[in-house]
Structure 1
Amino acid sequence: MRVWAKSLLVIGIALCGLTAQAQTSDLVSKTAFRVCADPANAPMSDRDENGFENRLAELFAAQLELPVQYEWYPMSTGFIRNTLRANKCDVVIGYAQGHEMVLNTNHYFTSAYTLVTKRDGAIADVDTLSDARLQGLHLGVVAGSPPATHLARNGLIADARAYNLVVDRRHESPIPDMLNDLNTGEIDGALIWGPIAGPLVKADYPDLQVTPLVKETMPPRLFFRITMGVRQGEKVWQRQLNSLIRRNQTEINTILSDAGVPLINDMGTGLLELEQ
Structure 2
Amino acid sequence: MKGSTTIVRRVVQSLRHAGLVASVLAATAMLCVAQSAPLAAAPVLRVCADPDNLPFSNDKGEGFENKLAVLLAERLGQELEYTWSSEDSGDVSNTVGEGACDLVMGYAQGTGLIEDTNPYYYTSYVLITRADDPDLKDVETLSDPQLRGKRIGLFAQTPPASILAMHGLVSNVKPFEVNPGESSARAAEAVIGEIASGELDAALLWGPIGGYHAVQAKVPLRVVPLVKESAGPNTIYPITMGVRPNEPQWKHQINKLLADSEQEINVILREYNVPVLNQKGERIAAGAALR
The bucket for the TM-score relative to the shorter chain is 0.7 to 0.9
Which runs of 4 or more aligned residues in structure 1 lie more than 3 Å from their structure 2 counterparts after TM superposition?
Answer: 76-86, 165-168, 170-173, 203-206, 273-276
Q: CA deviation at 1:170?
A: 6.2
Offset at 1:136? 1.1
1:213 and 1:53 mapped to 2: Cα distance? 23
Q: 1:79 to 1:229 in 2, by over 3 A?
A: farther
Match status 1:235 vs 2:248: yes
In 2: Cα distance, 1:233 partner to 1:131 partner: 47
Q: Taking structure 1 as reference, are residues 273 and 172 closer, same or farther at Cα in structure 2, changes over 3 Å only?
A: closer
* TM-aligned CA distance change 1:247 to 1:159, over 3 Å: same
> What number of residue pairs does the alignment pair up?
253
CA distance in 1 between partners of 2:222 and 2:278 (Å): 20
- Aligned counterpart for 1:52 among listed residues 58, 64, 79: 64
Give the aligned partner of residue 75 of structure 1: 87
Question: What is the TM-score of this pair, normalised by structure 2?
Answer: 0.80
Q: Structure 1, unaligned stretches of length 5 or more?
A: 1-22
- Paired with 1:29 and 1:79, the residues of 2 have a C-alpha distance of 28
Q: Distance in 2 between the 1:45 and 1:267 partners?
A: 28
Q: Residues 112 and 82 from structure 1, CA distance in 2 versus in 1: closer, same or farther, beyond 3 angstroms?
A: farther
Deviations along 1:220-260, whole A, 9 cap, x unmatched?
Answer: 01000000011222322211110110111111111111221
* Counterpart mapping for 1:38-117 below 5 A: 38-76=50-88, 78=90, 81=93, 86-117=98-129
Give percent identity, aligned residues only.
Answer: 38
Which moves more between the two structures, 199-208 or 210-219? 199-208
CA distance in 2, matches of 1:43, 1:243: 25
Q: CA deviation at 1:172?
A: 8.9
TM-score by structure 1 length?
0.84
Inter-CA distance 171–256: structure 2 relative to 1 (3 Å threshold):
closer
d(CA) in 1 for partners of 2:179, 2:111: 17
- Tell me, what secondary structure is at the counterpart of 2:215? helix
Is residue 196 of structure 2 the alignment partner of residue 183 of structure 1?
yes
Q: Offset of 1:200 from its aligned partner?
A: 1.8
1:152 match: 165
RMSD of aligned alpha carbons: 2.3
CA contact (8 A) 2:151 2:202 kept: yes
1:138-183 CA distances to partner (integer Å, 9 max, x unpaired)? Answer: 1111110110001101111121011126853269932011111111
CA 1:31–1:208 in structure 2 vs 1: closer, same or farther (change >3 Å)? same
Measure how far apart 1:116 and its partner are: 0.6
> Which 5+ residue runs of structure 2 have no aligned equivalent?
1-34
d(CA) in 1 for partners of 2:185 and 2:279? Answer: 32
CA contact (8 A) 1:25 1:236 kept: no
The whole-number CA distance in structure 1 between the counterparts of 2:92 and 2:245 is: 11
SS of alignment partner, residue 93 of structure 1 = strand
